[in-house]
Structure 1
């Protein structure tokens, strides 16, 4: 059954940095190719990732892959700072800047194109949200436009029938994207303070999170596991399978 189309595909080459919207992507066993494949570690917390939770301004740093993608090695990861400077993600000047802003010692970690563990990604391979749910939440909140980037999904789906939160009813079922990829919806996405951070200016507004807690029991979006790998594209049809 046709349920909609792929409106936007977003991957985050660096965990907690702003992601890049791409026209196509490979779906690997772990999720989108390169998603959260690079990360900064907070040396003040043993083996802990530096995230928006501790350093909200991370949302204003934009990361993208530059160059040819392969299964042997990732392309170069380029980072644009809030001030518009461009660095390699491991550049000493960039790391020093972030250390000064966050008051934390920072190191780096990188995974391989064939394997990114669940820890950096989240609790599951892929997160998706729908346009109808975003629109409904905007009405519930009643303050500003709700930017879907606040929720850091990989897949943003435009529904054929605009039924908000219908994706939660599909938990336990599979959907097919394009001609190859199948994913299974496995659970609700519990939300944290990250959604309070405006992705454009890093300003925080706790009222959005309070709305999600009150109206949606702190659930927004769903997690999915990869069943069949392959290529997906913006505008691909999305089908709910029997």
Structure 2
């Protein structure tokens, strides 16, 4: 059954930084190529995230160069005031250490493998435009969907909010890719953070909790690797 198409693709080259919108991406067994492939860890071995440092979302990260299976292209980072860094720049590390008041270590994974610690629970996070529109309506304010840090935004044909939660255990075919829907995404305080300014609005998480039991979007595991591009048709199949 055709349920919609790919409205937007977003990946996050640096964990908890602002992501990049792309028109096409290769999907590997662990998720989108380059998604959460870089990051920063604190002395206790845990990732530094927006939970500890909301300002991380104001740093925009993107790949610059050819995307090869054997190594990632360089990652460019742009701060809120427009300063451009390479991921490896000492100045970027020092900036984050000053903001977080923590000693940090850079982390970079290989294209063939990114551990679950970097990408949370499952391979890919999907949200629908219908659910985004519904939450915006309840809040009486257009909610920036990047708060929810999705990998794929679905243009859902039936426009029924939260209908994606009925997909658990079913398969989606998206372009050349096939995934299985695992479960709903239980939300944390990160969705309160404005993805452009870092300003916190606690009504967002409260609204998601009230309207949909704190679930927004669904996690999917990759069954078949391939390529996905904006506009690709999405079909739903029984598990």
TM-score (norm 2): 0.98
Distance in structure 2 (CA, Å) of the matches to 1:148 and 1:79 = 21
Match of 2:199 among 200, 203, 209: 203
Q: Deviations over 1:34-67 (max 9, x none)?
A: 1000010122xx1110000000000000000000
Number of residue equivalences: 238
* Structure 2 runs not aligned, ≥5 long: none
Distance in structure 2 (CA, Å) of the matches to 1:101 and 1:110 = 21
Distance in structure 1 (CA, Å) of the matches to 2:84 and 2:160 = 41
Distance in structure 2 (CA, Å) of the matches to 1:104 and 1:78 = 23
Counterpart position of 1:48: 46
- Secondary structure of 1:48's counterpart equals coil
What is the alpha-carbon root mean square deviation over aligned residues?
A: 0.8
- Secondary structure of 2:227's counterpart equals strand
* Structure 1 runs not aligned, ≥5 long: none
Distance in structure 2 (CA, Å) of the matches to 1:93 and 1:159 = 43
TM-score (norm 1): 0.97
Distance in structure 2 (CA, Å) of the matches to 1:62 and 1:19 = 6
Counterpart position of 1:155: 152
Counterpart position of 2:138: 140
1:141 Cα offset (Å): 2.2
Counterpart position of 1:182: 178
Counterpart position of 2:8: 8
